[in-house]
């Protein structure tokens, strides 16, 4: 695995004085507890005092702003654990956190921004939506955050609009009761040649940007396009519409033997619960970085930058790892102690989704992938859209499923957090705000089980 030697930061002459918060010599209890849990010596935090320093005036401005709104994908318990030390160091910051789907976190936030509204100060994991934010000039410049400059150049935007939140390795999760280690592929090509994996043994999610785009960058368009076609035609996986987390659960249940793509840190959470699941990486290992950005014009810019600088410090990155096993972006923490499956990553060839792969290369990959997926699943083109009005009779799974009567029959419709747009009284809202008795107009492809839009009042 490529490592980059951290470098000292030299501040230009004339820059404002630097002020630091509470000294790290007396570590917050939350940090002491995490070090004990991970069996790490406090010496690993060497240099933390310097990392916690911020430009003079930030603290005072943050105290005036007071609030900080964050939208991300951390579970609530994970976020509380992760931010314990920050709350101790900066007790004047009132954090308002919400775990949100991609649609609520990324799509709705951008729509609101264009309407002149700020739904959040910090958002994470905007992935494929970055260029939409770039076109709207919706992201603040982060390059004045001291720890921004400490990041590997691949883990920060050259223009300063995003920085790495965590590293994400995307490979395969497999059911340990159904798969022998001897059958695990050493390289991705082995899935084509080893017939043990053929015939509905693999649950494949329609998330090519999580693994195939890395192979596209590493192996080239010709190799990857040929691999896509052969994988679908010869391996004959199960084509699944579920999200990546659900695929891991289905592999555990024995619905299929392995799930692709699967994140290491998510798989490890099930391993800790004793589930019959493990994670394996053929070479080259697909690696991406999850982005973090601050919304431009945020009323809480300094609390957001204060949090971000802390989050990028050793203390913040170790806290995130303790909370959800996410590999740190801090250059000094990219070691086996901070990898949940180190033997699957260290020493192996890496296929990194660099910033250069965003945009045109990703579009080219999708142009090759989309017809292959469509032909295999029978989804060969746009379907006729139908529109009808109903009254909600029941809502389950936090708005993921709605129930109603239509044409004299009880029916169910799925509501995707990413693909379905939900409106309440003309405003985009989260699906979790749907209530029984609401009158809703539903737009969906004919005979489909998932709505395109749900507009209620």
**Phi, psi angle pair for 12, to nearest 5°:** -60, 150
Distance CA 320, CA 341 (A): 17
Residue 407 to residues 389, 404, 411, 455, Cα–Cα distance (Å): 11, 10, 9, 19
351-357-363-367 Cα dihedral, nearest 10 degrees = -30
Three-state SS across 304-315? HHHHHHHHHCHH
Q: Please tell me the total number of residues recorded for the chain in this structure.
A: 457
pLDDT, position 222 = 97
Inter-axis angle of helices 221-230 and 212-219, to 10 degrees? Answer: 140
Return the H-helix or E-strand segment holding 453. strand 453-456
Whether 174 shows a pLDDT value over 90: the answer reads yes
* This prediction's pTM: 0.70
pLDDT of residue 345: 92
| First-to-final CA distance of the chain | 53
> How many beta carbons lie within 10 A of that of residue 295, not counting itself?
25
Report the CATH superfamily, name and number, of domain 385-456. Copper binding periplasmic protein CusF (2.40.50.320)
Digit-coded pLDDT (tens) for 384-442: 789 999 999 999 988 999 999 998 889 999 998 778 889 998 888 889 889 999 999 99
DSSP secondary structure of 179-226: --GGGS-SBTTHHHH-GGGTTT-EEEES-GGGTHHHHHHHH-HHHHHH
What's the rounded mean pLDDT across residues 58-71? Answer: 97
What is the rounded distance in angstroms from the CA atom of residue 152 to the CA atom of residue 160?
A: 13
Q: Where are the domain boundaries for CATH 3.40.190.10 in the chain?
A: 18-166+290-339, 168-287+346-377
Domain ranges in the chain with CATH number 2.40.50.320: 385-456
Among the listed residues 138, 143, 144, the one whose alpha carbon sits nearest the alpha carbon of residue 57 = 144
Quick one: how far is CA 80 from the chain centroid? 18
- Please, are residues 435 and 392 in contact by the beta-carbon 8 Å criterion? yes
Homologous superfamily of the 18-166+290-339 domain (CATH): Periplasmic binding protein-like II (3.40.190.10)
Enter the CATH code of domain 168-287+346-377.
3.40.190.10
Query: Does residue 261 have a cis bond before it (omega within 30 degrees)?
Result: yes
Does the structure show a pLDDT above 90 at 58?
yes
Task: Report the pLDDT value the prediction gives residue 417, as an integer from 0 to 100.
Answer: 79
Query: Tokens 């799930």 map to which residue?
Result: 259
Alpha carbon distance 402, 435 (integer Å): 9
Taking only the tens place, the pLDDT of each residue in 24-52 is: 458 999 999 999 999 999 999 999 999 99
300 and 65 in contact (C-beta within 8 Å)?
A: yes
């Amino acid at each position: 695995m490529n490592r980059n030697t951290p470098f000292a930061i030299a501040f230009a002459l004339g820059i404002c004085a630097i002020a630091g918060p509470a000294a790290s010599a007396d570590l917050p209890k939350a940090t002491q507890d995490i070090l004990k849990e991970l069996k790490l010596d406090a010496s690993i935090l060497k240099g933390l005092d310097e990392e916690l320093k911020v430009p003079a005036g930030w603290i005072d401005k943050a105290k005036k702003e007071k609030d900080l709104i964050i939208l991300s994908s951390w579970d609530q318990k994970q976020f509380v654990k992760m931010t314990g030390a920050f709350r101790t160091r900066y007790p004047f910051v009132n954090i308002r956190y919400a775990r949100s789907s991609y649609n609520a976190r990324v799509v709705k936030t951008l729509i609101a921004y264009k309407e002149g509204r700020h739904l959040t100060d910090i958002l994470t994991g905007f992935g494929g939506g970055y260029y939409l934010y770039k076109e709207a000039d919706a992201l603040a410049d982060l390059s004045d955050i001291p720890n921004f400059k400490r990041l590997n150049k691949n883990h920060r935007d050259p223009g300063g609009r995003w920085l790495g939140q965590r590293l994400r390795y995307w490979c395969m999760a497999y059911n340990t009761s159904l798969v022998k280690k001897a059958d695990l592929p050493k390289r991705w090509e082995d899935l084509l040649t080893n017939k043990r994996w053929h015939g509905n043994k693999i649950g494949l999610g329609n998330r090519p940007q999580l693994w195939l785009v890395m192979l596209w960058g590493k192996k080239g368009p010709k190799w990857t396009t040929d691999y896509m076609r052969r994988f679908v035609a010869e391996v004959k996986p199960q084509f699944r519409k579920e999200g990546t987390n659900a695929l891991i659960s289905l592999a555990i249940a024995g619905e299929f033997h392995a799930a692709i793509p699967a994140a290491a840190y998510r798989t490890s959470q099930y391993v800790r619960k004793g589930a019959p699941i493990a994670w394996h990486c053929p070479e080259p290992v697909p690696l991406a970085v999850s982005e973090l950005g601050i919304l431009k014009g945020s009323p809480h810019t300094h609390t957001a930058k204060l949090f971000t600088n802390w989050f990028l410090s050793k203390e913040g990155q170790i806290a995130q790892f303790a909370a959800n096993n996410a590999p740190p972006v801090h250059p000094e923490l990219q070691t086996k102690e901070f990898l949940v499956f180190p033997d699957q990553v260290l020493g192996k060839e890496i296929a990194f989704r660099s910033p250069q792969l965003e945009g045109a290369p990703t579009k080219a990959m999708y142009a090759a992938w989309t017809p292959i997926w469509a032909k295999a699943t029978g989804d060969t083109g746009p379907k006729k859209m139908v529109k009808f009005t109903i009254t909600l009779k029941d809502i389950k799974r936090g708005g993921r499923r709605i129930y109603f009567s239509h044409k004299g029959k009880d029916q169910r419709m799925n509501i995707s957090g990413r693909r379905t747009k939900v409106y309440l009284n003309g405003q985009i809202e989260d699906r979790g705000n749907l209530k029984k008795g609401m009158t809703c107009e539903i737009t969906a492809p004919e005979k489909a089980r998932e709505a395109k839009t749900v507009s209620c009042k």
